[in-house]
Structure formats: C-alpha cells, structure tokens
Structure 1
Amino acid sequence: MTSLRPCLPHRRPLRRLALPLALIAMASACAPGPGSVESASSAPDARTGPVEVGVLAFNDFHGNIAPPKTTTSWPDGKGGTVQIPAGGAAYLASALDALRKDFRYSATVSAGDLISASPLASSLFLDEPTIGVMNRIGLDFNAVGNHEFDRGRKELLRVQNGGCEKNTLREPCQLEQFAGAGFKYLSASTYTEDGKTLFPATGIKSFGEGARKVTLGFVGLTLKGTSELVSPGGVKGLTFGDEAEAINRAVPVLKAEGADAVLVLIHQGGAQSDTSDPNACTGFSGDIQPILDKLDPRVDAVISGHTHQAYVCHMPREGAAPLLLSSAGSYGRLVTRMTLEIDPATDRLVSIEARNLPVQSAAYTTSRGEVAQSDLAPRYAPRADVAAYVKRYQDAASAYSDRPVGHLAGLATRHWDDNQAEGGPGGAVDQLVADAQLAATRDAGAQIAFMNTGGVRADLDPGKDGVVTFGQIYTVQPFGNTAVTRTYTGAQILEVLERSVGDEQAGSMLVPSQGFTYAVDMAKPAGSRVTARFEGKPLDPATSYRVTVNSFIDQGGDGYATLEKGSDPTIGGLDLDALEAWLSAVPMRAVPASPRVTVKGR
C-alpha cells in the first residue's frame, strides 16, 4: 500500500516521480497541498498516528573511502541523462547526515561487499580504514557479501571483533589499534561446521517507547554461490545455503521478537535493461528473481547488491502487497532513502517507499576532460572528521600509490565503447592484463592467457605524459592473485569457454591474450556456442597448449572448476607484478584497439 503526499516528492509512488531533485531538500518544510490524500487537518497526530521510520541503504562499497573518480547516471529532466561525480566516504557521511534529518527515527544498513576489491588506501591496510569509516558514519547492519570472504574466515572474524592477529601476508594495525566493526555483520545462510551461522542471522532495531514503540527486523545474507566466487581455501569448512530458505526461517523469529516490518539485506541482485534511471525497474531480471518468488509474504522489502546496478522495483505478489526491491549501485555513489510508516496500535506496516539519491562529490579531471558537478543533485561538503581520517590513510599509502610503474598511450576501459563490434566481454584493460600475464609466464611455456572480467575492478586512466602509478594498477587488480600455467588440449579450452556462456553461466567471462580470439553464438545450443582461433588458425581440439590464468579461477573461482583438469601446473608470480612489468617494458605501452571476443544473439 502506498500513500500520496504531493508536497513530499520522495514519498510519492515511484512510478509517478518526475520532480527536480532539489525539491527533496524542501520536503521537511512543505505543507500538504489541496487535493492531497492527507490534508493538514487529517495528518497523523504525532501521538496517535503511524510512526515514520527511515532506512538509508547502500551496497558494494568496496573500500572506496576516497572519491573513486567515477560518476553515477542521473536523469536530466529532458529525456536524457547527466553524469554526476559521486562517492567517497566523507561525502557519503554528509549525505547520510542530511538525509537523517528528514526522520526522527532511522537505521543505516548495507547489503554486503563493504570491503575487499578495494583501492590501495584501504586494501593496503586490510580494509581497517573502511571499517573505521563505517563506524563513524553510523552503520547499523551489514550483510556479508562474497568479497568479505576474500581474505578468509579468520580475517573476517577479526574485522568484526577487532584485534591485531595476523591472518594474511599484510600486517594488521599498521596505523592504529583496530577495534573492529561497531556494526553487526549478518549471515543467515552461511553455516559453520557445527551447523550454526557464522554471524547472527538477524538484527533488531527499535524506536520510541511504550505504546508508540515500533521495531524493524533485518535478515542479512550472501548469495548461495559465494564459494565459487572466492578462493576455496578461505571458506573451507563453511557452507552457503539456499537464500530463500534462510530468509523464510528468519521471518517468524523476527516476528516473535516484535518486528513490525521485516527487511532483507541480501548480497544478490539483478539489473535493468535500461540503466539510465536509478529509480526505475525497466526490464528487470537477474539471479535474485527466483529468490523473491519464494519469499514469505511477511517480508516487506529487499535491499540487494552484488550486481553493482541501481534500481527500485515494486515486485507484484499474489495475495500480498508488492514487494519493494532496491539496490544503490556501488562505491557509495548512491544512497537508497526508504520511508516506512508503521501503525504501532496494530503492529502493521501502513506504507513503504524508496528512492535512490546521488552522493555528489567534487568535480574531477580525466584524460577525457573535466567531470563537473550538477545542479540536478544536492551538493555535499565532505564531512571534516571523516575526510581527515581518510586522508591519514591516503597519506600513509602515498609512498606506494604515487610510484610510477610505466606509461600507457591512452585510457584503457573495462568496457568497449558503444561503437565497437557486436559486443564482447571486458575491455582494453582486461586485454592488457591478459597480455601481461602471458608475457610473465612465457618461461613456463605459456602460449595463451585468460583474464576473468570480474577480476578487473577499474579503468586504467594514465596521467600526464601517459604516466601510470602503482596505485592505479592496484585499483585495477587488488586481489593479490598469482599466475598459474597448465597444459590443456584445445577441446578442454573450448569446454572452459563454453562454461562461461552455458545455461549455468560462470561468474564472469574470459578475455584472452593477443593472438587468441573466440566468437560466441548464443542462438546455438549450450555446449556448441564457441568457436576459437589461435594465431590465425582454428583452435585444434587435439593439440595441447600451455595456458595461464590467475590463481582465483585456477582454484575454481567464478565457477571455473573445469580449469583443474589442466596438467603440469607451474605457479608464477603475482598478477600485479606482471602488469607492472608489462607496462614498464617499453617506453609507451599501446592500448589494445579492438575486442578479441565477439558475442551475438545475446
């Protein structure tokens, strides 16, 4: 059920919203107008009417404590979009502070991947500064995401509980004694050897007192396929169960604890077919849909993540009110502002609405020119305490991040421009990484290298005179994988490539090194969609080839368990060292000019 208040644009039904975002700032001072559902005389009494609670949500922050120098797409009011600079912890803190002023009561939550796959200023310090930031901005709950497990179970437990125990190659507590997360991780579907959840399945937050008290219940969890998305050694002994079963098991528990509304924080999601409007739900699809179809009707909202996409959907349900589904993109560039009205007399949710709002940050300049601020979205000043805290870690990392490692002739993106071929996975930077790993493992006999698109985290945008810094390549490849070379037949290589485009697709597609190309025809049956060429000739199914991949997918990550069928493994050096060596080997490294993979019929 959705209420209408014309003077409050952020509380109208989302499909009818077309007002300038600047009006949101005036919402708290706006009086109901003529013809509104609730006139001034019929507005809820603060002592007897529904209690309003705000929920502020984001997802997939990935340690972007400094502004990530990227944008979010926002409607320009003329049928097009404008790119707004967005993100950064200090700006996120100010945005949350401003949005909280709309509510007497509020909760702040995240749907996973707060940490890991992070820029150097956070990752170099085991993401301790990201947790420090989240403590400062007042996060209440975070669902575990797949990347929370990148450094293994013991390190994740340290993130929650604090301390300086060394669980990785990097030293903990380099700048400060690490106190741990002041918020709660939730993991309803992650089970330890004794069948218990690794972290609590649920969390409760109450507001008000006596007869006016209302309570929100939260279920938090990651996707069932997490074990295929992280290095197996880091999650040994853990089981990732069915998402809907875990949620439905938690709902009656929360209701028994007095929850008036149940909200799910899940690290799984989907995407729109048209991503220009972060508050739309155009052509929505994704792996979260089968989960939603099985949910207990007492679930009121699902705050999702994982796909790095933005959307607000009202999913129809038979015999129940539509289910609100949201995602706020990634990197703290958007915040979902959710408004709930709860009748404390009946313990019933009266209405729920949501809207994604941009976290506009400072303008910045790239090799393509300036990315300017926009008047279409609020402008936030960075919150001073958070900015100072972030700067401390940035300064400490600068000795690493500012070191030049080579030169690149132009911008290498993660995705090809729209005017490129019919379409393929990855972009020029993916190909650079594959080429670098091939060069680094020639001594192991490598002839071909593949890079998984999910392992490339950012564009590579050189500075003046084409200079590329260590901080930039670290942002591209923050995982610390090693290169592994094995022998495969041509038939086995085709089997691996078919895995990425089959009916049960892998977590990311594979981008090859120079000299190897492949084509995918999605109109053909699964198992016969890929044709490949090596050094200008069709790949011979009977011939053996030496192939290099990173250790993550070699161990079965992203669903590539078939890679283990290769023989004669040789363990090489770090992927980051390979990329640095490739960039520094020539005065100016050229940017790959065209895709090596074509996909049609998708």
Structure 2
Amino acid sequence: MHLFGFNDFHGNLEPPVGSGGKLAGYDSGGAAYFATHLKRLAQKYPNSATLMAGDAVGASPLDSGLFYDEPSIKFYNQLCVSASSVGNHEFDKGIGELARKQTGGCPADGCDPGNLGEGAKYQYLAANVTDAAGKQPPALKPWIMLDLAGRKVGVIGVVTKSTPSIELADNIKGYTFGDEADAVNKYVPDVKKAGAQAIVVLVHEGGSQTVPKGSDADYNKCDNIDKITDGLAARMDSAVNVIISGHSHMPYVCKLHDKLITQASFYGKLITDITLTFNGDKVTSAEAVNRMVTRSVPEDPDAKKLVDFFKQAAGPKVNRVVGSIGGDITKTPLAGGDTALGDLIADSMLAATKDTAKGGAVAAFMNPGGVRADLTAKAGAGVQKQDGQVTYGELYTVQPFNNQVTTLDLTGQQILALLEQQWKNDLGPKVLDIAGITYAFKDAGEAGSKIVADSVKIGDQPLDAAKTYRVATNNFLAGGGDGFTTFTQAKNPSPGPIDVDVFEAYFKAAGSSPVAPLTTGRVTKQ
C-alpha cells in the first residue's frame, strides 16, 4: 500500500520563484508539475491515498489568496486528496471561514470568477483543537478511516499547540490547542476499535536536520534530527505506524521510536512516497522516499487549465508595476540574522508612520516569518514584467497576510526586553527585521543577556531606558505573536494601513529610482 504526503503548499499554484523554488540547487514545485508527478505515482500504485499535513492554504500568492484560496482547494480536489490536518494558517481568516472552506458555499464576495465555493472534498482534521465542551471546530473531525483495497487505515490529524502564539487571537477565539501527542493518544483506542490495521498521524508540527554550515540537508536523510521531531515520535502511542509532519518547512525521512516520520519541504517541491507492507492484518514495515517535483515533466493539463484561469483573473492586479529594484532582495539572513527584505519592509513601515500626524514612529519591527518570498530582479518565464520591475503581485506574495501597520509606545527598557526575547524560542532565534534602530549582540551570551546594552541606538542616539519611544510594527507582533509578549505591554496602540499597501507606497515614492538591496544588516553579531 502506498500513501503520498506533502505539507505547507501555501497556495503556491504557479512555480515558486527565488529561494522558495529551489531544492538541492534544482528548480522545483508548481501545481501543474506536482499533479503530473503525483498522478504518475498514483497510476503506478493504485492502492494509495494522498494526505496533507497542514498549511495547504494561507499565506498564499495573489492568484490563490485573492480568491479566498478557492483555487488551491479546487487543485487539491483534482488531486483526490483524502485528508489534511489543519495548519496554523488554515485559521488565518477565522474559524467560520475555515468551516466554509470545508463544507462549501460562496465566499463573502460571491462565487465568481470560476465557480468558487465548491468546498474541500477532503476532510480537515483537528484532534487537538477543542472548545470548552471538548468539541472540534464546525465541520472538522479528529480522525477518519480510509479503506484501501480492503485494508483500513486510520488517519488522525493535529496542529501545532503553539498556534495561539502565531495566530491572531480573534481568529481562534474560544478554542484551545492541546498537546499534539496527547490528542493522538486519546483517539488511538477509538481508531483501533473501529478496525484500523494501520494508523497514520498528520501533524502540523516538525523540526529539522542539523547539517554542517554551508551544506544542504539531504531530503531523504535524518541527520542529527532535532528534539521536536524526536519528541513527537517518542510520545505517540506505539500503535502509530507513520507520522507525516509539517510546519517547519524542512525535508527528512526518519525512523524514530519504531515509527516512520517524514516531511516534504514546502511549496510542493517534494512528494513523500510511503510504502506500507502488511503480513495479514499487521504492518510489517513502513518505508518512505521524498521524490522531487522537477519541472522537466509535462504539465498536467487539468491543473494547468486551473492555474491559467485564475492567473488571468488576477492578472490586472498581479501584473501592475509598482516600482523597481537594483538586484535581488531576499529573505536570506545577513551576518547578524536580520534580512535585507525584512529590513526593507520595516523601512516601509517607518516611512509610513514617521510623520507626527501618521503616528510619529522612530523605529519599526517586522517578524521574519511574515516575509514569505524573495523579490527577484530577473523576470521569470511567463511573468508580465521587465527585468528589474516589481509588481503588486510580487509584493503580495512577499506579504500575503493583510496585517495592519500599528504604532505604539514602548520604553527604552521594554525595547531591550523585546530584543532579548529574540533568543527565547525553542526552534532557535527569531531575529526581528528592523528600521531606525541598530544594536549588537553576544553570540555566546545566555538567553536573556545577549544584547550589548550600550550598542542599541535609535537613529544615531543611544537608547535611553527611561524614555518612551513611538514604534511601528504589524498587528500580529503588536498582539504578542511569535512569543514577543513585550509588545502587549505597550501603551497607546493605534492601528493604521494594511502592510502590503504601505510596501507599495514605499516603492512608488522611490519613483524611477530602483530600490537597492541592503548588503549590510542592522544587527551586529559579536
């Protein structure tokens, strides 16, 4: 029996560009290529099912996001996906919108173009997401049973328990996100009682391989796997055979604690091909291979037709030129951990709010997870722009959340505390992208005492711990997102314009002058 898994597609129907479209140095991904590879596997192995591990939608490019991600749902329906765990991004538009995506019905703006609202023909699973009565969100289930050639496969789905710290509070109001392994173990007896001969867990949580600096992880290995991945496998019931993971955007194939655990990178660059072998009613082996979605195969005609339709429908907005760049501006970390593209976004926030009438901000902060793609100078195949030009569609792909730029008051002491919080994360440091502020940190320092205090400057002036500063950020960080709880202590918060509109205005203000890539970061590592 074969199972095909993937995760974190994020509505990337067109072949992703920049670093998001590369795997081991090769161009990979794109819905029409993905469909060809998957259909070939399904034809070769007819006793199969396709499963997703969350973030199928959300943080999507404009040709999906503009249409409530219905184009992506149509694509997954074409692939005959059976089930998906919810990911944190499935909640980006709230519980009610997620239920509509599951059951069908027209979005708020109607069913045009392209007959939107057919609903997911696959089942979203959320075993660890419950209300006060212990029930899952509307239309969602904790698990389902698949019947494949007479064999029963139970599929349980869970999402990262950290969702409340990385999702807007209003989107998940009234729901608790419990421990992933505890939720799986709660439902294993029910799944076994229903006759499951194999149990598969879809978990929107994962980790990564640790590889030498400057090298790429082998997407079919399990080198020095981290504690998150190992912990998931260790704590789940021994009846679980396979764990298909996601969230961390990493590739791996591991055997841990008598379980197979996999992840398939992100944006549809890999398909995990899992083989279950049975002796009678028992699984005797579980093996997997991550197969690259190359672009050397013909495009699947059904998927291509779908992608082309919504690309054309979004075209007038996607292809509108807003400015130009003098070279690639990427989300690759610079020497201190901040990124050229994230710092540029922070620049745009500061430019939009520095006037007293618009907020009076003197510094700006951007979360690195909100920067979703690179800005590339060279026009890709089929892109309606000239080299160096930047389109609105590209800006939206970089910042697809429609967050509000928010100004608020922080003391200098709170800014120091905020900077220290960058190293208080289980997955490693989350270095904020910044504008109007510079600082240094001690690489060998302990979490909580990394910042070189006298290095912090607002503009060209040393930070005054007792002074109050007006700063700009987005409403996600302002609400304490990504664990930056210091923002919730701020005074006088004032929501403003949408982030992508601010980014567009920044490019327009540059006029005919190309925006130059930042080559030196604003954070110094000592």
TM above 0.5:
yes
Q: Does 1:55 align with 2:12?
A: no
Of the three residues 61, 64, 80, the one matched with 1:119 is 61
428, 436, 440: which is aligned to 2:348? 436
* TM-score using structure 1 length: 0.81
Q: Which runs of 5+ in 1 are unaligned?
A: 1-52, 75-82, 362-378
* Structure 1 residues 395 and 597: alpha-carbon distance in aligned structure 2, compared to 1, 3 A threshold: same
**Cα deviation digits, residues 373-416 of structure 1 (max 9, x gap):** xxxxxx32111011101111000000000000011111001004
- 2:337 aligned residue (415, 424, 438): 424
* Contact kept in structure 1, 2:321 and 2:390, CA below 8 Å: yes
Matched, 1:324 2:260: yes
User: In the alignment, what sits opposite 2:382?
Assistant: none
| Structure 1 residue 341 corresponds to structure 2 residue 293 | no
- 1:490/1:583 CA distance change after superposition, 3 Å: same
* Aligned equivalents of 2:303, 2:426: Cα separation in 1: 43
Q: Which segments of 5 or more consecutive residues in structure 2 lack a partner in the other structure? A: 380-385
> Could you tell me which residue of structure 1 aligns to residue 329 of structure 2?
412
1:557 aligned partner: 481
Distance 1:251 1:196 in 2: 17
TM-fit CA distance, 1:177: 4.0
Aligned to 1:373: none
Contact 1:499 1:506 in 2 (8 A): no
Whole-angstrom CA distance in 2 between matches of 1:343 and 1:270? 32
CA contact (8 A) 1:506 1:558 kept: no
Check conservation: 2:233, 2:261, Cα contact below 8 A. Answer: no
Shift of 1:230: 1.0
1:171 deviates by: 5.5
Contact kept in structure 1, 2:68 and 2:107, CA below 8 Å: no
What SS is found at the alignment partner of 1:399?
helix
Structure 1 window deviating more from structure 2 (468-477 vs 585-594): it is 585-594
Deviation readout 1:176-225 (Å, 9 max, x if unpaired): 141100000000100023211222111111123xxxx3211111110001
Please report how far the alpha carbon of residue 173 of structure 1 lies from its aligned counterpart in structure 2 after TM superposition: 4.5
| Alpha-carbon distance in structure 2 between the residues aligned to 1:468 and 1:429 | 13
Equivalent-residue separation in structure 1 for 2:23 and 2:426 (angstroms)? 31
Contact 1:305 1:328 in 2 (8 A): yes
Q: Does 1:469 align with 2:417?
A: no
Task: Answer yes or no: is the 8 Å Cα contact 1:271–1:284 preserved in 2.
Answer: yes
Structure 1 residues 485 and 181: alpha-carbon distance in aligned structure 2, compared to 1, 3 A threshold: same
CA distance in 1, matches of 2:2, 2:36: 16
Distance 1:503 1:412 in 2: 26
Report the Cα offset of residue 560 of structure 1.
Answer: 2.1
| CA offsets 1:302-341 (integer angstroms, 9 cap, x no match) | 11000111011111x3xxxx22110000001100000001
Match for 1:89 among 19, 28, 31?
A: 31
Select between 563-572 and 435-444 the one with higher mean Cα deviation: 563-572
Change (3 A) 1:228 1:290: same
Per-residue CA deviations over 1:412-457 (Å, capped at 9, x if unaligned) read 01004xxx53x413x2111110000000011211000011000000
For residue 497 of structure 1, what is the amino acid of its counterpart? L
Which residue of the partner structure matches residue 574 of structure 1?
A: 498
Q: Deviations over 1:545-593 (max 9, x none)?
A: 1110001111222222320211122221111111111111122222212
Counterparts of 1:412 and 1:455, CA distance in 2: 15
Give SS of 2:44's match.
Answer: coil
Q: Partner amino acid for 1:525?
A: E
For 2:166 and 2:229, how far apart are their aligned partners in 1?
A: 16
Residue deviations 1:248-275 (CA, integer Å, cap 9, x gap): 1111111111111111100000011124
**Pairs within 5 Å for 1:433-582:** 433-443=345-355, 444-462=359-377, 463=379, 464-502=386-424, 508-513=430-435, 515-531=436-452, 532-582=456-506
User: Is contact 1:507–1:559 with CA below 8 Å preserved after alignment?
Assistant: no
8 Å contact 2:423–2:430 — kept in the other structure?
A: no
Q: Cα RMSD over matched residues?
A: 1.7
The 2-side partners of 1:435 and 1:109 are apart by: 40
Taking the aligned partners of 2:243 and 2:23, their CA distance within structure 1 comes to: 23
Between the two proteins, the alignment pairs up a number of residues equal to 503
| Conserved 8 A contact 2:36-2:300 | yes
1:73-109, Cα deviation, whole Å (9 max, x unpaired): 34xxxxxxxx221111111111111111332300100
Please name the residue that 1:272 is paired with: 209
- Structure 1 residues 65, 404: CA separation in 2 closer, same or farther (over 3 Å shift)? same
Question: Which amino acid counterpart does residue 277 of structure 1 have in structure 2?
Answer: D
* 1:224 partner SS: coil
Partner letter of residue 84 of structure 2? N
Identity %: 39
Give 1:286 shift: 4.7
Q: Which SS does the other structure have where 2:21 is aligned?
A: strand
Would the alpha carbon gap of residues 88 and 341 (structure 1) be closer, same or farther in structure 2, given more than 3 Å must change? same
Q: Distance in 1 between matches of 2:141 and 2:10?
A: 22
Summarize the alignment of residues 136-535 of structure 1 with structure 2, pairs less than 5 Å apart.
Answer: 136-166=78-108, 173-198=112-137, 199-208=140-149, 213-274=150-211, 275-315=216-256, 317=257, 322-344=258-280, 347-361=281-295, 379-416=296-333, 421=335, 423-425=336-338, 427-443=339-355, 444-462=359-377, 463=379, 464-502=386-424, 508-513=430-435, 515-531=436-452, 532-535=456-459
State the one-letter code of the partner of 1:217. Answer: G
Q: TM-score, normalised by structure 2?
A: 0.92
Task: Name the SS of the counterpart of 1:64 in structure 2.
Answer: coil
The Cα of 1:280 is off from its aligned counterpart by: 0.9
Deviation string, structure 1 residues 522-552 (Cα, Å, up to 9, x no partner): 4323221123232344322112111100011
> Structure 2 CA distance, aligned partners of 1:579 and 1:391?
27
Paired letter, 2:348:
A
Q: How has the CA–CA distance of structure 1 residues 501 and 326 changed in structure 2, closer, same or farther, with 3 Å as cutoff?
A: same
Q: Helix, strand or coil for the counterpart of 2:98? A: helix
